[in-house]
Amino acid sequence: MSRALIVVDVQNDFTEGGALAVTGGARVAEAVTEHLRRSGGRYDLVVASRDWHAADGDNGGHFSAEPDWVDSWPVHCVAGTPGADYHPALDATLVDVHVTKGAGSPAYSVFEGVTGDGSSAAEVLASRGVDEVDVVGLATDHCVRASALDAARAGLRVRVLTDLVAGVGAESSAAALDELRAAGVETVASTEVAA
């Protein structure tokens, strides 16, 4: 058995002051780093994703001047800009594999992304024999939800660490966690994992 931590979109544009800021985003960045530092080898692999949208065009309708906040959004996480960078409180040196997603099209799940050599997240996890994943990051009700659901669909044992995520809305985040539990995803605090 091999376990990975998947860190979803802990980027400047999704934290306080960013284009699509999530309240508590900076706290999540700090807490994920603390969790990794005290994990003491609990994870065989750490994978982090970033939205990495194209600067030109609307990225398949993902960007809009009049967003509906469901399928279309204001411009965010444009590749190579400060908004697309990891939040500075996330220690990226603790990440083994970096995945980018959404270049030219909408993408919510880490499983829609690729590494620098073009490998999919699923291929990376399979190559390392990963069968269990913990999912953390931003935002609970969007990319964390999509990533955890895809991990479960891929046959992995999945846990979302509820104190290491933050969502856009309280109701939509609670609904996302309910949906994840119904799909067989475990929701636990990182302190329970560490115990």
Write the single-letter amino acid at 67. P
40: exposed, middle or buried (Cβ count in 10 Å: 0-12, 13-18, 19+):
exposed
* 45-51 vs 3-8, strand pairing mode: parallel
The answer to whether 115 touches 98, Cβ cutoff 8 Å, is yes
Backbone φ/ψ region at 39: left (φ over 0), alpha (ψ -120 to 50), beta: alpha
The predicted pLDDT at position 5 comes to 98
Q: What's the pTM?
A: 0.96
The answer to whether 89 touches 29, Cβ cutoff 8 Å, is yes
The predicted pLDDT at position 57 comes to 85
d(CA 22, CA 15): 5
Active site residues: 9, 101, 143
The answer to whether 11 touches 77, Cβ cutoff 8 Å, is yes
Q: What digits encode the pLDDT tens for the residues 106-137?
A: 899 999 999 999 999 999 999 999 999 999 99
132: nearest Cα among 99, 97, 159, 160 = 159
Question: Which ranges of the chain have pLDDT less than 50?
Answer: none
